[in-house]
Amino acid sequence: MTSHLTRADLSVAAPIVEFAEASLADSGRDVDAFWAGASAIVHDLVPRNAELLATRDELQKRIDEFHRANPGLPDRDAYRALLTEIGYLVPVPSAVSVTTENVDPEIATMAGPQLVVPLLNARFAINAANARWGSLYDALYGTDAIDQTGELAPGREFNYTRAAAVVARGRRFLDEIAPLTEGSHTDATGYRVDADGLIVQTEGGDRRLATPAAFVGFTGETDAPTGILLVHNGLHAEIVIDRAGRIGTTDAAGVQDIILESAITTILDLEDSVAAVDGEDKALGYRNWRGFMDGTIAESVTKNGRTFTRVPAADRTYRTPTSAASAGGDGGEITLPGRAVLFVRNVGHLMRTPAVLDRNGDEVFEGIVDAIMTALGSLPELEGPNRGSNSRTGSMYIVKPKMHGPDEVAFAAELFGRVEELLGLPPKTMKIGIMDEERRTSANLAASIAAAADRVVFINTGFLDRTGDEIHTSLHAGPFLPKAAIKQQPFMKAYEDRNVAIGLASGLDGRAQIGKGMWAEPDLMHDMLEKKIAHPLSGASTAWVPSPTAGTLHALHYHQVDPFAVRATLPPVVEEALDALLVPPLAADGDLTDEVVAIEIDNNVQSILGYVVRWVDQGIGVSKVPDIHDVGLMEDRATLRISSQLLANWLTHGVITEEQIDDSLRRLAVVVDEQNAGDPNYEKLAFTEGEKPGIAYTAARRLIVEGAAQPSGYTEPLLHGLRREKKAEQA
């Protein structure tokens, strides 16, 4: 059990104290003054945080009463009147003008993929930070983005036929982003640089780029470059030339690879993708964040029998085209960041943590602790020797999830201001990303943005948490549709469209990201290439991807579509969209047949078991969980929330029974055990008659049968307690 130390009038877990005081020593700050200031923040803001949660409960109580008295789809006027009367809907600001300053271009003016990765896993986090640049050839060869059947099947040995298909796709890409005045990059036999720019040699003669400005740099010599740097729609691509390489030796122009600027931003997560339940877990996350900020993070990795150390990638330097015209070849350089610009996702306002206790011995809200400690961890990058290695504008970027409406956003902004005062940071250093994933925030998005108009750098949408909250908010209105059908309902389109339109109307263009949600099927890259182009087509400047490889492939979409240009064509916000947003996706007569219900129970139960067993037993917050058809899906707590809330809704309305849930849990525990048979750390879920079920199995069942009683349908209260119980058992 983690020990606690007294600091000011707080009781703080020893690993948190160690992290904080080492950080304070490095930055030259007074330890006693820090803890006194931290205590003041805690004792001033904890009661306010509790009041916000009480408001959530009161609003939910009033909505539940309305639906019990008026089951089914609510009357529009009566429902709007209720939501307005109780303060769920607030007046729309007459005008919102975002004024956020000192925002890095990757967030304000560039468009590209975004990764989200658990901060407690240093190896994953370093990989994600380094996913700023990725091999197009590897991404195409190693996934189903290129057909994997017949002569194109990857196989155990290197398949040169498949490689040729990859190269052909790469040449088409070059023709799309940097077309020639005549002919095609497919015809290239070499690349050179002269005083007038890039020369593409072909058998038909030398060719130039149709848009000369697309060529922005090179490495090597002018007559034998080893790299050609191009730019298109604000993103870079490098043609790697190596005539001795496995691909380059077979390529007429010696092209070994095409490296794409890919995940230009990454969110290092302390929330839904981690299992951080105590001071030890939290301190690990804070140390890893500081490691990125001071440049010391490193992780030893063993792969294919070889051990090496993984560290954040270095910046990339190229000679500019003007250097080819200078007598000494030293006409200038261009340096591009080697790593994504990093956000850190703090937790929301709900959970308290045993890592810090107040003067009364009560647990402090975790979000308050996160704000203080992650800002403390940012000091080496904001003012120390590593200054500017993440943000070249002196900002710290925090994604704040699960906020319900403008008052909660305003509270987060106030908290950030207090932390800036505590650490002596310039006002507005700490920027906020507002996750539009709770219904009250969606319905009041303009007011929520206005509440942090001088800090906001990010809004986004996400199907899973948003639908989980939709179900819980309208739990008593009636039975909901199955998950796949919910996604097609009018409220979801209204949600997605309003987010972009309100963001633009509020002045986010040129100051902040507008994002879209996750592609959850990391093995289905062909489908992703077909479908995820919808995100830049919506005007969103970023969207989440499940892996660095997916980031490189999704980057292709931002070359095909410039979302900043799309924005000029989008319609404005209309009042009717709010009406559509407030219509819960209830099932109609005949929708929930016995077959549909049986399939949906098993799909959701399998998902819950497959995720919870790793969370509770091993502390794994995100992983690729095989579904009932053995298709790997990236799952985190948002997936768990929607699955458990749907089944809780059906239990509430008698669509299913606890007996059906128990039958499904028992049958599918065996399936999940089989799917995890290769994991030496796995503990079985299945149990025989007379045996006591394990903690993970109990967690899965409770999340369903007690789901209706969970605050906003969140899974954290149950999961955290049961994970701590499991850790005690394992100690």
Residues catalogued as catalytic: 345, 636
450's tokens: 């206005």
> Bridge partners of 434?
400, 459
307's tokens: 């051990």
Distances (CA, A) of 301 to 36, 283, 306: 41, 22, 8
Map tokens 């909505």 to a residue.
Answer: 63
Map tokens 């308050």 to a residue.
Answer: 368
118's tokens: 């658990």
Q: Which residues contact 661 (CB under 8 A, 6 or more apart)?
A: 601, 605, 647, 651, 701, 704, 705
Strand (E) or helix (H) holding 596: helix 594-618
Q: Are 387 and 287 in contact (CB under 8 A)?
A: no
Distance of alpha carbon 271 from alpha carbon 435, whole angstroms: 12
Map tokens 């469209």 to a residue.
Answer: 497
Nearest in space to 267 (alpha carbons), one of 110, 436, 136, 460: 460
Provide the 10 A C-beta neighbour count for residue 590.
7
Nearest in space to 709 (alpha carbons), one of 654, 660, 649: 649
Q: What one-letter code names the amino acid at 299?
A: E
> Bridge partners of 336?
316
545's tokens: 């991807």
Angle at 87 between CA 85 and CA 91, to 5 degrees: 95
Q: Are 387 and 381 in contact (CB under 8 A)?
A: yes
Distance of alpha carbon 341 from alpha carbon 338, whole angstroms: 10
Q: Are 273 and 621 in contact (CB under 8 A)?
A: yes
> Bridge partners of 191?
200
Distance of alpha carbon 442 from alpha carbon 400, whole angstroms: 15
Map tokens 């109609």 to a residue.
Answer: 588
Nearest in space to 524 (alpha carbons), one of 676, 609, 629, 675: 629
In angstroms, the first-to-last Cα distance of the chain is 8
Distance of alpha carbon 416 from alpha carbon 424, whole angstroms: 12
Nearest in space to 625 (alpha carbons), one of 570, 577, 675, 566: 675
Distances (CA, A) of 312 to 341, 346, 553, 556, 566: 12, 22, 21, 24, 34
227's tokens: 């790299």
Distance of alpha carbon 609 from alpha carbon 611, whole angstroms: 5
3-state DSSP assignment of residue 101: coil
Tell me whether strands 341-345 and 265-269 are parallel, antiparallel or unpaired: parallel
